[in-house]
Structure 1
Amino acid sequence: MRIGLITSTPGHPLLAATTALLTPGHQVVHLDPDTATAPTGPLADVHLLKARTPRALELAAALERHGAPVVNTAAATALCQDRTAMADLALRAGLPFAPTRTFPTLADLAAGPPPAGPVVVKSRHSRRHDLVALVDSAARLRELAASAPREPVVVQDFAPSSGDDHKLWVVGDHVFAALRRSELSPEGQGPSRPLPEGGLPPGWAGLVRRVGELFALDVYGVDILDTGDGTPLIVDINAFPGVRGQAGAPEALAALALSRAGGKGTSPRR
């Protein structure tokens, strides 16, 4: 099989380990979205889209138009980058997603009435090093607005929790989980602490699989808060996250790639 990696960082730990498992029995090729153009030669049997830049999405969409399977699709990846669209779809489907309000810019948010209580302000468009900040005062909001006044943002009410985020990742049919100190913590985000699937509250594994079905994702991450007694609150969804430090993740990704390549992209999630 011929597997294509759409990424500018083929040495990423997950991709490097997956490549080592696939070769030499299969050919793995690297497509850098910053330099690659529309396909002109033989297509790979499947492409793994481990990039979210506009150029990466354009390349993935071009490959799809030429009949090449892409995991995740360009459309599914783009949907997860728009937190407004993400929240709207999740809430309409009845998922326990944090209610989300959208503002054209941070300046618009700061110009309105101050939040009634602590809120989490996030960049509307998910990307590396985007904005995720706890705002508990009008002064803090003005400070953020001064630093990036034109940034489109979404706002979610701050939900008290244990202080740990549940990071759940799905690769094909496999669910991986870890606890990680919230990035909103004064101490900052800590290292991930692997959590066996059996250690999750009842129903959570099924919940994250439902997310994948709804968003047409095969490789994705879901950030969940435990708001008390195992009650889940989804606060973010990511297409093709790094899944670092999770034993078995490279094996699951290699198996998924070969499965999609053998079926020419056919996915039960679709």
Structure 2
Amino acid sequence: MRICLLTPAPDHPLLAETTALLTPHHDVQWLDPGTAKGLPDPAALADVYLLKTRTPRALALARFLEEHGAPVLNSASATELCQDRTAMAEVALRAGLPFVATRTEASLTRLAEAGEELPWPVVVKSRHSRRHDLVARADDTARLRALARQWPDEPVVIQPFTPNDGWDHKLWVVADEIFAGLRRSELATAVPDRTTRSLGTGELPARWLDVVRRVGEVFALDVYGVDLLDAGGEPVIVDVNAFPGIRGQAGAPEALAALALRTAAGSRPPRVLVGP
């Protein structure tokens, strides 16, 4: 099989370990959509592509590949959906998922100048998910205005702060396998350590795992991450990520290698995003 990684960083631990598992018997290549010159020859496409980057050029390339019959994990449309936190919330809530209430504002400056009384504390996030985007807690108008000075024209979403135990439950899914970890929330009052601690799925309620599986169905994702908060024993989804960097999870590279081969062989086609 010919497997191609769409990424600027093939040395990412998950990808590197997956490549090491596949290369004895399969041809694994990589392509950086950001530096690629031209489009691939439609007559010489790989058997499957793994989309581990989310730039506009990467999404355009993924769409080209899909249009020419190549399977892409995850699809361009599903990956793009997870970059827009407004659309993400709308899709999740419409599907009945326990997603945190989300309100969209055209700019943080406009919201701060309006002087509107919000249900403090709130969580302020960039509407468009990307590296080094805005994710912060605001307890009052003064903090909101301070954020507006740093991010004056940033389109944002506003979410009520969900009281929780200060830990983010990080769940990652590769096909049908779920991996889990605990990480101190970046919004916690004190964040002494951001190390992720592995968590056995047996330590989580079965209904939490059902919610996570349902996310994959709703968002048409085959490789994804879900951030959950424990709100008095009930899961609250605060984020969904397409093809996250799954680090330090035993069995994850093996699951990804197996998924790539099944997809390349045609026994598991990529999920398809269905419109409203």
What band does the TM-score fall into relative to the shorter chain? over 0.9
Secondary structure of the 2:228 match is strand
- Structure 1 runs of 4+ off > 2 angstroms? 186-189, 267-270
Deviation at 1:264, TM superposition (A): 7.2
**Hey, what does 1:81 align to over in structure 2?**
83
Q: Structure 1 residue 140 and structure 2 residue 127: aligned?
A: no
**Hey, what does 1:194 align to over in structure 2?**
198
Matching of residues 171-182 of structure 1 within 5 Å: 171-182=174-185
Deviation at 1:201, TM superposition (A): 1.9
| Cα distance in 2 between the residues matched to 1:266 and 1:134 | 40
8 Å CA contact 2:74, 2:270 repeated in 1: no
8 Å CA contact 2:222, 2:271 repeated in 1: no
Q: CA RMSD in A?
A: 1.3
| Cα distance in 2 between the residues matched to 1:153 and 1:114 | 17
Q: Which runs of 5+ in 1 are unaligned?
A: none
Deviation at 1:265, TM superposition (A): 6.0
**Hey, what does 1:106 align to over in structure 2?**
108
Cα deviations across residues 133-179 of structure 1 (Å, max 9, x unaligned)?
00001111111101111111001000110000100000011000011
Change in CA separation of 1:19 and 1:161 when aligned onto 2, cut-off 3 Å = same
Identity %: 65
Q: Structure 1 residue 56 and structure 2 residue 58: aligned?
A: yes
Secondary structure of the 1:28 match is strand
**Hey, what does 2:230 align to over in structure 1?**
226
Secondary structure of the 2:206 match is coil
Q: Structure 1 residue 208 and structure 2 residue 219: aligned?
A: no
Matching of residues 121-160 of structure 1 within 5 Å: 121-160=124-163
Q: Which of 70, 76, 84 is the matching residue for 2:72?
A: 70
Secondary structure of the 2:96 match is coil
Q: Which runs of 5+ in 2 are unaligned?
A: none
Q: TM-score, normalised by structure 1?
A: 0.96
Aligned residues: 269
**Hey, what does 2:164 align to over in structure 1?**
161
Cα deviations across residues 48-81 of structure 1 (Å, max 9, x unaligned)?
0000111111111111111111000000000000
Secondary structure of the 2:211 match is helix
| Cα distance in 2 between the residues matched to 1:157 and 1:197 | 28
Secondary structure of the 2:66 match is helix
| Cα distance in 1 between the residues matched to 2:164 and 2:130 | 25
